[in-house]
Each structure stands twice: as C-alpha cells, then as structure tokens.
Chains A and B, each alone.
Chain A
Amino acid sequence: MTQADANAASARPNPSAPGIGRRAALLSGAGAAVAMAAGAAVPARAQARPPLTVAIGTDLITQDPCRIAGGNDYFFFANVFEGLYGPDENGKPAPLLAESHTASPDGLSYEFTLRPNARFHSGEPVTAEDVRFSWQRAVAPETRNPRASVLVANIADVEVLDQRRCRVKLKQRDASFLDNCGEYWYIISKKHAEAGGENPFDRQPIGTGPFAFVERRVRSYIKLRGFEQHWGRVPAFGEVTLKIIPDDQSRVAQVQTGESDIVTNVPPVLAAPLQRLPNVQVVRAPSFQNIYIAINALNGHPGLRRADVRRALNMAVDKAALLRATMLGFAQQLEQPCHPDIFGCDAQVTPYGYNPDRARQILTEAGFDFGRPLKLLGQGTGRVPQARETLQGVAAFLNRIGIRTEINMLDYGAWISVYGARQKDPSVDMVFANFTDYNADPSGRLLRQVRTGATYSWYSNPEIDAMLDRMNDFASIEERRAFVRRLFARLHEEAPLIPLWTVDSIYGVGRGLSWKPTPHVSWPVLWNVRRAS
C-alpha cells in the first residue's frame, strides 16, 4: 500500500455539513463557548444523533496532553486529541493530522503536509505553526512534561514551510518517531494555549479528535460530543457520557441494565457470564498489556544470575494451563517478551514449552540452591486482572519442581516503589509485573524493562545494552527489523523474565451497537462505534 493509499484508507469522507450539536453545546458554558467559537450553523441531523454512554473504571488525572502521567488517561486523549500520526482501526500507525510525509534519506528529518480539512474543536484550522507550537510547549521547562524524554526532546527544530507544511528535524535518528507521534506528541492549538491563561487545558481541553470536550465532574463523569467537523472520523453519536464506575460488578451491571451502552475493563471472571446474556455482546481485542514475571538477575538468589537457570524457570511454568485457569482464555500467550505484532517480534525462536522434568534437570546440573526459597513479589490490588492468582499459579508450578517460594503481595503503590526502585531489593527474587506498550514499537518498553539501570530492569548485560542503544538508529525499516529480530532472539536466550501473556481488552457492548475496538491499544477508541444495522 502506498502512502496515498494509506491516507485514502484512513481518511473517510466527511458526509456532514460543518456544525456542532446544539444539545451538546448547551450542556456547559465551556461547551457553549466552543460552539460559539466555531461559529457554525447547527444542522438538523446533528440534533438527531443519539447519545452514547460508556462506563469506565477510573477517572482522568489530567486534561493537558503535555502532562499525561500514565496509560490510564488515554481513554480521554485517544478520543479528544490527535498527533500527526496515530493508530488506525487495525492498530497500525497511520497518518492522522498529517496527510502525507517524506523522510530524509538519513532519517534525521521528516516533512509533513497537514490535511486541508483538519480543524480544532474551536473551529480553527490546524496549521504548521500549531505543530511547531505543540513541540515548543511540550519541551518548555515550565510545562514540566514528564514524558518529554521519549520523543519531543529529540526534536531539534520544527520549521514552518507554509500554512500546511512543516519540517521536523531530529537531533538523533529515531526509528520509533512515527510510531510514538500518536501517544507522545499531541497537536494543540497555539491560539487556545496562548489565550487560555496558566492552565488552558485544565479549563477547556481543545483538541482535534473525533470527540470534543463538553464538561467534567471529577470522579463522576466526563461529557464529550461527536465532532462533526472532523477531517474523517466523524462519530455516529452526539453526546457521549463517560461514567466513572470503579467497581467491576457495578460497572458490568451498567450494560446489563442498559444504563450504559458500553462498559470497559470487564474482568475475565465477569466476561464469561456476560456472554450468555441476550442483550449484551462481549467484544474483545488483543492489547499490548504484557504480563510477565521479572527475574532478579542482579542481586537476588545467586542462581538467577545464570541464563540457563532463568531458561529452566521458563520451562517450569505451564503458561497455557495458567492462562486457561486464571484468565479464562481472555489473553494471548507469549513465548517471547512481546506480542507477535510488535515490530521485530517475529523472530524464529524455539519456544521453551512446559517441561518440568527438563527444568529440574537443568537446575540440578547448574547447582541451583533448592534450600533457599525464591521470594516472589506480587500486586495485591485490582489494577491487573487476576494478578494475585497468576503469581500464586507461577509459585505452584515452581513448587512442583522443588523450588520453595514465599509470596509477598503489596498494594500497587508499595509494589511499584519496590519494582521501580533505583536500587533493586536483594530480598526480592521475582516480581509479577505488567507493562503496556503504547504502540507496536518495542523500544520504549525494552529500554525501561531490560536495559542496565533502567527503572524496571532487574537485569544487566552490556551486549544487550549495546543492542538497545543501537535499535532506533536506523533509516531503513527492513534493516531495523532484522536487527530487532536478533535482539529479541538474544533476549529469548537470555530469559531475563518469564513472559506470560498479553491481556485482551474486554468490553461489554449493548446488542444495539456495532463496534470493532482498535486492537493493540488498551483504551476504548470510540469514533467507529455504530448502531447495529
């Protein structure tokens, strides 16, 4: 598929006349202000657009795209804001605000042409000047963007070529640049940011996404409205209410009663009975939320510093059985430390498989000290589905080959303090862990998960470090793919962790709707929800 084909595929024609739903605009002063700013007439069909109610589990932490603190906030940003690039309906990177781009042969600069019909929710067109400003604000020290280090800090300059064209110059070659444009560099309105005072996005988050912000009540709901002037992803719904229902049972009840049209984060144990209800369909999509057991190869049990011992631990755990028992099948089993759809994670490696006898034999030959128990650290609260049961299952499989285990479950805050500590705790041998890839590029995770001294790395290997440092320094995609395959193959041999599975995103959806959730993202992207025909 050519660049033009990709653009054509991702940009659906906007059949509606420009306008903003009257009902949504009347809901709040802020919404009304946006509607007035847009200065557009209200088409009759906008009023007929039905409302959509979605029950979600957690509230938003920030409305400012330069202050995103974690993956939990993406349910908002993925619907209200956009980058130059971002995931398409199949989770693949596709041009969003950019119509097309060209990359220089050295991979150090990208020239983007913006879509002619890309607009902010205020009605203003998106210009190259906005792109430049979005970068400047994202890296400005006073913004305190906690995630600037991933992408925007590597931008040397954004040159405005004309109203719709700009050139992004990088300090260093970064093969993950386009992939990360979706989650690490949202385009914002210069006019709004400069006119909006100290925290313009806290008051009124104006983006370019398929949904515009209307109002919010902290810990209760967020109201959005379908943005009819969107360049292509025009939602079928007018007012969208995101209700915050923290309790899993109560959230699932929302779709059973018809109070909500969609519920997110359905735990596997509740998904199975939900499937039997006549008025609800359970929709699932693969995600990049990786569940694994990190092995302390630094300063824990001395045996864990040996790669053959770590490989034996991989053989000791029957992942398929554990997945069936704890996740009830709502996950994708992993053999490598990544989902097969991650870039370069299609290396041909021999899976370890479940082989407890061979595992025991390797450990014995390696002189593993069975007398010293392995201390396992787990998450005790419900951030990750079946976290407690999964670690208990892993411990049971280790017990079967003669390894004694001691489990310590901590609440998330205490757990992440230990897991992400600069100095790793020598009294911890293995950690139940989860890490979500925001897109198909593996570098963000690997650099934090296995590089020496990284936040979540319990492993050190200069050879792997050198490969990680090199992995983004490619101009040719195919050369990089071959390199990343070699890296994953080496990581498979080194076994710094026991990869278990990626969790499926599970949604309860009313029968009256038709929706294909975007695969490989762990948050609902709602623009393609339609009424079932």
Chain B
Amino acid sequence: MARFLLTRLGQALVTLALLTVLIFVLARLTGDPTPLVLPSEATEADRAFFRQQYGLDRPVHEQYVVFLRNVLRGDFGISFRYREPAFDLVLAAIGPTLQLAGVSMLVAILLGLPLGIAAALRPGSWLAATVRGYASLGQAMPTFWTGLMLIFVFAISIPVLPSSGYGTAANFVLPAVTLGFYASASVTMLTWANMTEALRSDFVQMERVLGIPRRLIVLKHALRNASLPIVTYLGLQFGLLLGGAVVTERVFAWPGVGQMLVDAILNRDYPVVQAAVMLTAVLVMTINLVVDLLYAVLDPRVSRS
C-alpha cells in the first residue's frame, strides 16, 4: 500500500511540474494585460511602470523562474485586477465551489444510486422505462437551461427559493439540484448497467441458492462489485465540478472558482489564472488519489497488483 501511495504521489508531482510550465505559457499566450488593466487615460509611462511592476518586461524564461520560485513559497503574485494576493482570492472562491460540488455530488448519489439499482432489479418494467427517461432527460438538458427553468419555477412562479446568491442553506438548493440532476443521470445509467451485470454473475446466483436475503445480496455484495466504475465516475465528476461548473456558477451568481477563472482569463489576470489552475489541479489530484485508495479498499486486488 505504501508503495502504491508513493507511486501515485510521484506521478502527481511530475504532473504538477509540467502544469506550471503549461499554465505559465498558456496564460501569456492570451496577450498583453495592460489594455485591460489600465484605463485609456493612462500614459505610456503608466503602462511601462505596470509592466515593470509585475515583471512583464523581463524575458519569459526569467519570468518563469521567478514564478516557480514564488510558487514554491506559496506566493502566486498579486492579481492585476483586484490588487490582492491571487492565492487568497482563489482560496476564498474554492470554498463555495467545494461546498457546491459536494452537495451536488450528494444529490447525484442520492438520486442516481437508488434509481439505477431499482431499474436493474426490475428489468423491462414501467419503473425501468421511467428511469431510462429520467436519465436521458438529465443527460440531454444543458445545465444553464435547467438552472433557468428551476429559477423560473421555484423562484418566480412559486417563490419558495432564492433565485441566486450565496450564503444560506436555501441558496444551495437550486444550483445543487441543477448540477446534481445532470450528474445523477450518468450515475443512474452506470449503476443500472453495472448492477445488472453483477446481479447476473455466478456468485450472486450462488448466494441466492444459499438463501442469503435479497437485500443483503443487492446492497452488500452486488453493489460493492458494481461500485468501482461508479466511484471512478464520481471522482471524475467531482473534479470537473471544481473547475467546470462555470455556467451554473454564473446563472446562480455563485462566487466560485470556475467563474473566477473564466473572468481571470478574459481579463488576462495571469496570477489569478495560475493560482486557480494550480489549486484546482492539486484538488483534482487529491480526489484521484482518494479514488485510487477507495479502489484498494473496495477491491484489494488493486493494491496487490
């Protein structure tokens, strides 16, 4: 197990090192930030000072060395736009994103797992057909549309929930359902397919012959065998939500890191782009590591191999 962990950590470090180069170069490819940071009244001297202040007048390789040295000290520089430490800004935004991603995943699991299991237990029934319709709808509906429809129904037509914002438990409901509904469609289909396969396997047939209660067979043995791809998917989906819930964050005015990253890219705020990508990458790698560990717990053959 220790070797398994060390290997994964080593891979993560190499990936992070490569990522520093990639994100540094890509951020600069977006262009000169000066026209976006300074007003049109600024003089050439102001513009030159800005470039000098942030080291943008130095050769790119020198800028990279400084960037890397500072990153190792946890310093991602000062945001061009907000004039605050970029890491602090991203750290403040990552909290709301993690909260939303967590609650959304919970919604996806609470909806997807029971529906998938139920459909697998009753193949060909009206229930299975309904679940199939639900999953198709969930996958087909874009999140921005779902979000706007939920606002229309539950904030405007039947005003029981806030339409947007952050800070109270009620604020979580609509964005978490929007994201959770989308993710639950895939969880449902994956659960359904893998449970169907597990329920047909020899060991389940044998357990039935041995008279083991059905509930125990389904929830303890079949579900455990079916869970590997579901856990993989949930890990990937959680990673996606960390940086990719931009549309939902925008629709619900959620002050998360996805929207911040897009704004930073559009405004060429290199320090924030770099800090947001690096922090998100570290989180995604951590989640992947947790998923790998879960694999080992769910299936000991993984760690042995």
Per-residue CB contact flags for chain B residues 19-44 toward chain A (1 = under 8 Å, else 0) read: 00000000000111001111111110
For chain B, what secondary structure do more than half of its interface residues adopt (helix, strand, loop), or is it mixed? loop
Q: Report if B288 contacts A (CB, 8 A).
A: no
Nearest chain B CB to A449's CB is how many angstroms away? 9
Q: Report if A256 contacts B (CB, 8 A).
A: yes
Complex contact B162–A218 (CB within 8 A): no
Per-residue CB contact flags for chain B residues 157-198 toward chain A (1 = under 8 Å, else 0) read: 001001111110000000000000000000000000000000
Chain B residues with CB under 8 Å of A149's CB are 41-43
With A68-B39, A146-B38 given, is the CB distance from A246 to B250 under 8 Å?
yes
Chain B, residue nearest A435 (CB): B40
Contact of B159 among A249, A257, A417 (CB under 8 A): A257
Complex contact B251–A413 (CB within 8 A): no
- Residue picked from B81, B83, B164, most chain A C-beta under 10 Å: B164
With A144-B49, A147-B41, A257-B163 given, is the CB distance from A247 to B253 under 8 Å?
yes
Chain B residues with CB under 8 Å of A70's CB are 39
Q: Which of B2-10, B199-207, B260-268, B289-297 contacts A (4 or more CB under 8 A)?
A: B260-268
Complex contact A147–B42 (CB within 8 A): yes
With A253-B164, A455-B40 given, is the CB distance from A243 to B253 under 8 Å?
yes
Q: Report if A140 contacts B (CB, 8 A).
A: no
With A243-B165, A250-B163, A258-B159 given, is the CB distance from A413 to B41 under 8 Å?
no
Chain A, residue nearest B250 (CB): A247
Per-residue CB contact flags for chain A residues 235-256 toward chain B (1 = under 8 Å, else 0) read: 0000000011111011101101
Minimum-distance CB pairs A-B, first 3 = A146-B42, A147-B41, A245-B253
Complex contact B156–A256 (CB within 8 A): yes
Known contacts A243-B253, A256-B156, A258-B159, then 18 further A-B pairs from the complex at CB < 8 Å, ordered by chain A residue: A62-B83, A68-B39, A147-B39, A147-B42, A149-B41, A219-B93, A220-B165, A247-B253, A249-B251, A250-B151, A250-B251, A253-B152, A253-B155, A257-B163, A259-B162, A259-B165, A413-B266, A416-B36
CA distance A251 to B253 in the complex (A): 9
Q: Report if A469 contacts B (CB, 8 A).
A: no
Per-residue CB contact flags for chain A residues 389-423 toward chain B (1 = under 8 Å, else 0) read: 00000000000000000000001111011001000
For chain A, what secondary structure do more than half of its interface residues adopt (helix, strand, loop), or is it mixed? loop
Complex contact B35–A420 (CB within 8 A): yes
Q: Report if A328 contacts B (CB, 8 A).
A: no
Chain A residues with CB under 8 Å of B281's CB are none
Nearest chain A CB to B251's CB is how many angstroms away? 5
13 A-B residue pairings within 8 Å (CB atoms):
A61-B81, A144-B46, A202-B83, A219-B260, A220-B166, A220-B253, A250-B250, A250-B252, A257-B163, A259-B162, A412-B266, A413-B36, A456-B40
Q: Report if A217 contacts B (CB, 8 A).
A: yes
Nearest chain A CB to B26's CB is how many angstroms away? 14
CA distance A199 to B89 in the complex (A): 17
Complex contact B39–A259 (CB within 8 A): no
Chain A residues with CB under 8 Å of B251's CB are 247, 249-250
With A218-B92, A250-B164 given, is the CB distance from A257 to B155 under 8 Å?
yes
**Which chain B residues in 64-99 approach chain A with CB under 8 Å?**
81-84, 89, 92-93
Q: Report if B148 contacts A (CB, 8 A).
A: yes
Interface residues of B (CB under 8 A from A): 30-32, 35-43, 46, 49, 81-84, 89, 92-93, 148, 151-152, 155-156, 159, 162-167, 250-253, 255, 259-260, 266-268
CA distance A498 to B253 in the complex (A): 37
Chain A residues with CB under 8 Å of B253's CB are 220, 243-247, 250-251
Chain B, residue nearest A416 (CB): B35
Contact of A413 among B152, B166, B167, B267 (CB under 8 A): B267
Chain B, residue nearest A69 (CB): B39
Chain A residues with CB under 8 Å of B83's CB are 62, 67, 199, 202
Nearest chain B CB to A247's CB is how many angstroms away? 5
Q: Report if A48 contacts B (CB, 8 A).
A: no
- Residue picked from A202, A250, A456, most chain B C-beta under 10 Å: A250
Chain B residues with CB under 8 Å of A258's CB are 159
Q: Report if A190 contacts B (CB, 8 A).
A: no
CA distance A146 to B50 in the complex (A): 10
Chain B residues with CB under 8 Å of A251's CB are 253
CA distance A100 to B267 in the complex (A): 42
Chain A residues with CB under 8 Å of B165's CB are 220, 243, 245, 259
Chain B, residue nearest A70 (CB): B39
Q: Report if A156 contacts B (CB, 8 A).
A: no
Chain B residues with CB under 8 Å of A259's CB are 155, 162-165
- Residue picked from A150, A251, A259, most chain B C-beta under 10 Å: A259
Complex contact A413–B31 (CB within 8 A): yes
CA distance A249 to B255 in the complex (A): 17
Chain A residues with CB under 8 Å of B164's CB are 245, 247, 250, 253-254, 259
Q: Report if A486 contacts B (CB, 8 A).
A: no
With A202-B83, A413-B268 given, is the CB distance from A69 to B37 under 8 Å?
yes
Complex contact A253–B151 (CB within 8 A): yes
Nearest chain A CB to B39's CB is how many angstroms away? 5
Complex contact B266–A150 (CB within 8 A): no
Chain A, residue nearest B38 (CB): A146
Q: Report if A448 contacts B (CB, 8 A).
A: yes
Chain A residues with CB under 8 Å of B82's CB are 61, 218
Complex contact A413–B40 (CB within 8 A): no
CA distance A218 to B255 in the complex (A): 8
Chain A residues with CB under 8 Å of B162's CB are 257, 259
CA distance A218 to B264 in the complex (A): 14
Complex contact B30–A254 (CB within 8 A): no
With A69-B39, A456-B40 given, is the CB distance from A414 to B89 under 8 Å?
no
Q: Report if A299 contacts B (CB, 8 A).
A: no
CA distance A62 to B78 in the complex (A): 14
Complex contact A257–B42 (CB within 8 A): no
CA distance A448 to B41 in the complex (A): 8
Nearest chain B CB to A240's CB is how many angstroms away? 16
**Which chain A residues in 197-228 approach chain B with CB under 8 Å?**
199, 202, 217-220
Q: Report if A381 contacts B (CB, 8 A).
A: yes
Chain B residues with CB under 8 Å of A150's CB are 41
Chain B residues with CB under 8 Å of A249's CB are 148, 151, 251
Nearest chain A CB to B41's CB is how many angstroms away? 4
Chain A residues with CB under 8 Å of B38's CB are 69, 146
Chain A residues with CB under 8 Å of B252's CB are 250
Chain B residues with CB under 8 Å of A218's CB are 82, 84, 89, 92, 255
Nearest chain A CB to B248's CB is how many angstroms away? 10
CA distance A384 to B281 in the complex (A): 34
Nearest chain A CB to B142's CB is how many angstroms away? 14
Nearest chain B CB to A457's CB is how many angstroms away? 11
Complex contact B39–A219 (CB within 8 A): no
